[in-house]
């Protein structure tokens, strides 16, 4: 299964309703929450995300680039986000937090920055519904894909297969027509794309094209 999740970080924030309507064929809308502490950029919080939830034609995939996710992440699950992903580097107790998110009814996701190892996740892979391997340093859209993150993705994909896990493997950052096949071949099944979708004249056509390329490149 190949999923394309456009990131509204690349959308026009003051025309959000119209921007959301442009990506109605997406699988999820990727919502980047940044607190200017975990990353050097600031976007929006629960109040804005609640309005996006009420307006979006597709379910929400919330990516929290924030400190103290224990305090804030459950609120995003409670407002109805389909998935809530917090950063491993920011969490004091990732397993307990994932269980809380699942208890509220959201898919629980854990994200790792490009230089964070993933081996520690292997034993607890079942605690998560998705693992997000950042393919840029988190904080900004429009950066270049980092191919050096692919060995880590392969390790995760191999481990998931070995364990018969159904965990989704997501990539985020610099994903576009020239890079998505690399990530798909390494084992990703869920692709976040900001500028490649919202920068296109026809976002739905861009989504379709990304999906085709990823399907063609997938390992199986
Ligand atoms: C970066 C964000 C990404 C960003 C991706 O910190 O997590 O979701 O929007 O943007 P592009 O696809 O433009 O690299
Ligand atoms: Zn993101």
pLDDT at position 122:
97
Radius of gyration of the chain (CA): 16
pLDDT, the chain, mean: 97
Q: 42-49 long-range CB contacts below 8 Å, 24 or more apart?
A: 43/9, 44/13, 45/72, 46/72, 46/75, 46/76, 46/79, 49/76, 49/79, 49/81
- pTM for this prediction: 0.98
The pLDDT tens digits of the residues spanning 77-127 come to 999 999 999 999 999 999 999 999 999 999 999 999 999 999 999 999 999
Answer yes or no: is the C-beta of 138 below 6 A from any ligand 1 atom.
yes
- Structural domain span for residue 55: 3-219
Share of the chain above pLDDT 70, in %: 99
Q: Is the distance from CB of 29 to CB of 56 less than 8 angstroms?
A: yes
- 173, 190, 199, 206: residue to mutate for ligand 1 pocket, most atoms within 8 A of CB: 173
pLDDT of res. 219: 57
Mean pLDDT of 156-165: 98
Residue 166, judged by CB atoms within 10 A of its CB (0-12, 13-18, 19+), counts as exposed
Say yes or no to pLDDT of 47 above 70. yes
Q: Among 143, 176, 180, which residue has the most ligand 1 atoms within 8 Å of its CB, making it the best to mutate?
A: 143
Domains: count for the chain: 1
CA 171 – ligand 1 centroid, Å: 10
Rounded Cα gap, residues 35 and 38, in angstroms: 6
144 CA to centre of own chain: 17
The H-or-E segment that residue 186 falls in is helix 180-186
Q: What is the CATH number of the domain that holds 54?
A: 3.20.20.70
Establish whether residue 69 lines the binding site of ligand 1, counting it when its CB lies within 6 angstroms of any ligand atom. Answer: no
Per-residue pLDDT, 73: 98
Can you give the pLDDT at residue 89?
98
């Amino acid at each position: 299964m190949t999923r394309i999740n456009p990131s509204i970080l690349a959308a026009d924030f003051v025309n959000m309703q119209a921007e959301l309507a442009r990506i109605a064929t997406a699988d999820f809308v990727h919502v980047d929450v940044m607190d200017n502490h975990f990353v050097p950029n600031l976007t929006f919080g629960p109040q804005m995300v609640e309005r996006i939830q009420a307006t979006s034609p597709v379910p929400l995939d919330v990516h929290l680039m924030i400190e103290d996710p224990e305090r804030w992440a459950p609120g995003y699950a409670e407002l109805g986000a389909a998935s809530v992903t917090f950063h491993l580097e920011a969490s004091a107790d990732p397993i307990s937090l994932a269980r809380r998110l699942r208890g509220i009814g959201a898919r629980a996701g854990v994200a790792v920055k490009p230089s964070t190892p993933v081996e520690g996740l292997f034993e607890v892979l079942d605690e998560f519904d998705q693992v997000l391997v950042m393919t840029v340093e988190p904080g900004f859209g429009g950066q270049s894909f980092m191919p050096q993150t692919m060995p880590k993705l392969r390790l995760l994909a191999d481990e998931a297969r070995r364990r018969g896990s159904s965990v989704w493997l997501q990539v985020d950052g610099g994903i576009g027509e020239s890079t998505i096949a690399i990530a798909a071949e390494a084992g990703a099944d869920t692709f976040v794309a900001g500028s490649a979708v919202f920068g296109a004249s026809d976002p739905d056509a861009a989504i379709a094209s990304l999906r085709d390329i990823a399907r063609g490149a997938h390992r199986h």
